């Protein structure tokens, strides 16, 4: 197993290098120069020359790439040209938003998609089955940005002054602040000495509120997360429901399911232990593939709901030609992708002991 993991990581290295190279070249191919787009009107020739020299942008492209790789190997993702702050710092602030949004959307998609698919397959060809599949087809056809705007219209405007009202933007209401757990517990005296990883964890507002027992922030953060998560989860939910249904329909026809029923097992045991368990394998693959859909959707969802996450930051960085942010964020996303895909592959062995990963 360990050998397999090491080999997979080694195999991932060329892809990662390719991602680095492509991102680097793509970022520098964006027309226009960063000096003018960032400094605006004050960007005279002199100012720009100094700006380019300070940021190392006056060197040749291959030279810049080597410096970048060297910095990366030392764990330095660079400094944002626009914000003049380290990329790791910006990531610690913005990645939690996207992680929270993506995770909640995926959990929602599984919590609703899998049971719907199960009911559909167990009541095959019934009205419920037909309705679910029509719903799933509509779900995969819906533009995320449209659904997000429509949800905001219904829940923030039409249902205003009702208990169902939900906020249309932001992560927390005005006046509600999330106090980091390390500050609550008095771990650090100076805020700038806090490790980035702890900052990252504390910016997962729901997690932070949960461990510090701050229920006001917890409720408020969840309320703000509902609409973006629902909008983002629709496509994965529809795909997961369809996949669960088809995968279960195949398993239901197996002899061992008939045997399980014939020997008098409770229907719930047959469904959960014999049908669902065996139908999980293709489902996990599909859930893994949905991560890409979720991240792409996050760019749009974060834009609609005014959330400062990684997706929106990346989009803004591309338009502002902030190379270090484009590179830093993309590398982190690509590594995240590779790790998650590895986890999906490893899960096969646990779900089906017949699969021996070599």
Partner 1 sequence: MTETNELPEVPQIDFAGRSTSGPWMTALKRLFRQHSGIAGMIILGLLVLTAIFAPVIAPYGPNDVLIGKENVRKRAKPCIHLLGCPADQPQHIMGIDGNVRDEFSRIVFGARISIFIGFITIGLAIVIGTILGTIAGYVGGLTANVIMRTLDVVLAFPFLLLAIAIVAILGPGLMNAMMAIAIVNIPTYARVIRSSVLSVREEEYITAALAIGAGHRRILMQHVLPNAFPPLIVLATLGIGTAILETAGLSFLGLGAQPPDPEWGAMLASERNQVFSAPHLVFFPGLAIMFTVLGFNLLGDGLRDALDPRLRF
Structural contact between residues 32 and 321, judged by C-beta atoms closer than 8 angstroms: yes
- Within 13 Å of residue 32, how many CA atoms lie on the same side as its CB? 15
H helices of the chain, in order, are: 2-29, 34-39, 45-54, 61-73, 87-122, 127-141, 144-152, 181-184, 196-202, 205-212, 215-252, 255-262, 267-269, 277-304, 310-320, 323-351
Tokens 């993702």: give the residue. 77
Decide whether 26 or 66 has the Cβ nearer to partner 1: 26
> At 123, is the secondary structure helix, strand, or coil?
coil
The verdict on 37 binding partner 1 (CB under 8 A) reads: no
Among residues 110, 276, 304, 325, the one that binds partner 1 under rule CB under 8 A: 304
Q: Does 130 bind partner 1 (CB under 8 A)?
A: yes
Whole-angstrom distance, CA of residue 85 vs CA of residue 87? 6
Which residues are within 8 A (CB) of 70 and not within 5 positions of it... i.e. 6 or more apart? none
- In the complex, the smallest distance separating the C-beta of residue 253 from partner 1, rounded to whole angstroms, is 7
Minimum Å gap between C-beta 145 and partner 1 is: 5
3-state secondary structure of 184: helix
Residue 283 tokens, joined: 């489902």
What is the nearest approach in angstroms of partner 1 to the Cβ of residue 106?
Answer: 14
DSSP for residue 93: H
Footprint of partner 1 on 198-227 (CB under 8 A): none
- Closer residue to partner 1 (CB): 16 or 48: 16
Q: Which CB sits closer to partner 1, 20 or 221?
A: 20
The contact mask relative to partner 1 for 309-338 (x = CB under 8 A, - = no) is --x--xx--xx------x---x--xx--xx
| Closest distance of CB 57 from partner 1, Å | 17
Burial of 300 per CB tally in 10 Å (0-12, 13-18, 19+): buried
Stretch that binds partner 1, among 71-79, 135-143, 178-186, 200-208 (CB under 8 A): 135-143
Distance, C-alpha 128 to centroid of its chain: 31
> What is the Cα–Cα distance from 84 to 58, expressed in whole angstroms?
18
Among 2, 14, 41, 268, binds partner 1 (CB under 8 A): 14
> Should residue 9 be labelled a site residue for partner 1 when binding is judged by CB under 8 A?
no
3-state DSSP assignment of residue 79:
strand
Minimum distance of partner 1 from residue 26's CB (angstroms): 5
Six-digit token string for 353: 């002991």
Query: C-alpha 260: how far from its chain's center?
Result: 39
Residue list 69-128, contact with partner 1 (CB under 8 A): 124-125
- Hey, what are 30's tokens? 């964006």
Which residue of 299, 305, 322, 327 would you call a contact of partner 1, by CB under 8 A? 299
Q: What contacts 138, CB < 8 A, 6 or more positions away?
A: 238
User: 105, 144, 209, 225: which one contacts partner 1 (CB under 8 A)?
Assistant: 144
- The single residue among 5, 9, 22, 340 that binds partner 1, judged by CB under 8 A, is 22
How crowded is the C-beta side of 96, counted as CA atoms within 13 Å? 21
Which one of 38, 108, 152, 325 is in contact with partner 1 (CB under 8 A)? 152
- Stretch in the footprint of partner 1 (CB under 8 A) among 66-74, 138-146, 188-196, 216-224: 138-146
Nearest CB to partner 1, comparing residues 43 and 286 = 286
Verify binding: residue 290, partner 1, rule CB under 8 A. no
Select the residue interacting with partner 1 from 89, 303, 308, 347 (CB under 8 A): 303
- Minimum CB distance to partner 1 smaller for 25 or for 351: 25
- Residues of this chain that bind partner 1 (CB under 8 A): 14-16, 18-19, 22-23, 26-27, 29-31, 124-125, 129-130, 133, 137-138, 140-147, 149-150, 152-153, 156-157, 242-243, 245-247, 249-250, 253, 292, 295-297, 299-300, 303-304, 311, 314-315, 318-319, 326, 330, 333-334, 337-338
């Amino acid at each position: 197993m360990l050998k397999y993991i090491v080999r997979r990581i080694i195999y991932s290295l060329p892809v990662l290098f390719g991602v680095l190279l492509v991102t680097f070249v793509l970022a520098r191919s964006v027309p226009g120069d960063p000096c003018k787009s960032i400094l605006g009107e004050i960007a005279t020739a002199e100012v720009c020359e100094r700006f380019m020299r300070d940021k190392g942008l006056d060197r040749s492209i291959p030279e810049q790439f080597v410096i970048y790789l060297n910095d990366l190997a030392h764990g330095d993702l660079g400094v944002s040209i626009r914000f003049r702050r380290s990329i790791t710092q910006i990531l610690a602030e913005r990645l939690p938003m996207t992680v929270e949004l993506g995770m909640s959307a995926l959990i929602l998609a599984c919590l609703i998609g899998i049971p719907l698919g199960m009911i559909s397959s167990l009541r095959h060809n019934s009205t419920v089955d037909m309705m679910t599949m029509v719903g799933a087809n509509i779900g995969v056809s819906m533009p995320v940005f449209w659904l997000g705007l429509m949800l905001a219209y219904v829940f923030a405007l039409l249902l205003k002054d009702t208990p169902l009202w939900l906020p249309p933007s932001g992560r927390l209401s005005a006046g509600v602040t999330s106090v980091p757990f390390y500050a609550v517990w008095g771990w650090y005296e100076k805020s700038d000495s806090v490790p980035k990883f702890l900052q990252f964890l504390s910016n997962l507002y729901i997690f932070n509120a949960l461990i510090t027992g701050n229920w006001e922030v917890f409720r408020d953060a969840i309320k703000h997360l509902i609409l973006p998560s629902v909008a983002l989860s629709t496509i994965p939910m529809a795909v997961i429901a369809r996949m669960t249904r088809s995968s279960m329909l195949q398993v239901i026809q197996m002899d061992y399911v008939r045997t399980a029923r014939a020997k008098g097992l409770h229907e719930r045991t047959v469904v959960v232990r014999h049908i669902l368990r065996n139908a999980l394998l293709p489902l996990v693959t599909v859930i893994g593939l949905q991560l890409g859909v979720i991240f792409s959707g996050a760019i749009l969802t974060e834009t609609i709901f005014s959330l400062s996450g990684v997706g929106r930051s990346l989009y803004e960085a591309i338009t502002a030609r902030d190379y270090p942010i484009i590179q830093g964020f993309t590398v982190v996303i690509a590594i995240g992708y590779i790790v998650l895909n590895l986890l999906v592959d490893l899960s096969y062995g646990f779900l089906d002991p017949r699969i021996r990963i070599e």
